[in-house]
Amino acid sequence: MPTNLSPESPIGVFDSGIGGLTVAASLRRLLPNESILYIGDTARVPYGGKSRETVERYSIEIGNMLLRGGAKMVVVACNTASALGVPRMKEVFGVPVLGVVDPGAQAAVDSTKNKTIGVIGTRATIASGAYEKAIHALEPSATIHSAPCPLLVPLIEEGLIEDSVTDQMLARYLDPLLSKGIDTLVLGCTHYPLLKNAIARIVGPAVSLVDSAENCARAVGLLLTDSGLSSSQKDSGQLEVALTDSAEGFLRTAAKALELPISKISLQSTRA
């Protein structure tokens, strides 16, 4: 456990795979002074269909790897790990831990006018009820309609971003939510912002999309300021990516789509 947290240490970002680079990209844009150490658990990806116990264990393991890498805080960019792993991480780790669920819930409450909110995510995220709990804590009178969308991650990872098959699956997943009159839709999985255009086409302009990556980055900025941990090295932030298994293909795709320069890529084992 680190005892001397330094503002010049990197922000640790943890994801089950590569999808959390959407959060890293938002952090780089919003906080250009900050360096990022990103670990993607590609050896055990995806988390979205796994049990709470397993996701919790993996979250602690990857969090410890970030702390050994000198992270001054841990950002859990994966919605599944945020929903299932963050409570235990907050108990165990001696640095601030922030998931994507609370910032996403706050943004949804800020956005909705009719207090009818849709949430989409992996099977594990939706089953956890984490967004419902977080939204109801902020706005008890909100009505929430949620839907697991288990095929979206594989479709995105295969690069079917603008594709008729993806559009058909989106319509199946989203039509039942639209029929309930939602005016806000939380994209409760870090991969989903890559489908923002396709989703917007299906839900139409009357439904606001809440992108957890963007809101999480804003919350990280506030937390760093509040805790005196903001870096003062102007625009000198770097992004270092470590993966637990090689996943070069999708890493290149995502980095290109996000226009995200990566200064170093390495392979790390979870057997430490």
Separation CA 253–CA 22 (nearest Å): 12
Considering the complex, what minimum distance in angstroms separates the CB of residue 246 from its own copies? 5
Exactly one of 169, 189, 198, 216 is catalytic; which is it?
A: 189
Q: With beta carbons less than 8 A apart as the criterion, state whether 47 and 57 touch.
A: no
Q: Is 78 a catalytic residue?
A: yes
φ and ψ at residue 188, rounded to 5 degrees: -85, 40
Q: Shortest distance, CB of residue 69 to its own copies, whole angstroms?
A: 21
Radius of gyration for the alpha carbons in the chain, expressed in angstroms and rounded: 18
Distance CA 82, CA 89 (A): 10
Which residue type does 74 have? V
Report d(CA 2, CA 95) in Å as an integer. Answer: 8
Nearer residue to its own copies within complex by CB, 210 or 247: 247
Smallest distance from its own copies to CB 50, Å: 5
Q: Is the distance from CB of 113 to CB of 183 less than 8 angstroms?
A: yes
For 116, other C-beta atoms within 10 Å of its C-beta total: 16
- Residue 89's CB is within 10 A of a number of other CB atoms, namely 23
CA distance 2 to 25: 26
Residue nearer to its own copies on the CB measure, 155 or 185: 155
Shortest separation between residue 190's beta carbon and its own copies, angstroms: 17
Minimum distance from residue 18 beta carbon to its own copies (Å) = 11
216 is catalytic: no
Catalytic residue among 31, 78, 95, 247: 78
3-state class of 163 per DSSP? Answer: coil
**Choice between 130 and 156, CB closer to its own copies:** 156
Residues contributing to the site for its own copies (CB under 8 A): 42-44, 49-51, 53-54, 150-151, 154-155, 157-158, 164-165, 168-169, 245-247
Shortest distance in whole angstroms from residue 250 CB to its own copies:
8
Closer residue to its own copies (CB): 163 or 226 = 163
Distances (CA, A) of 227 to 1, 68, 73, 118, 260: 18, 21, 10, 33, 27
Which residue lies nearer to its own copies by CB, 94 or 154? Answer: 154
What's the rounded Cα separation, in Å, for the pair 155 and 15? Answer: 18
The residue among 94 and 249 lying less far from its own copies, judged by its C-beta, is 249
Helix (H) or strand (E) holding 133: helix 130-138
Euclidean distance between CA atoms 240 and 242, whole angstroms: 7
Active site residues: 78, 189
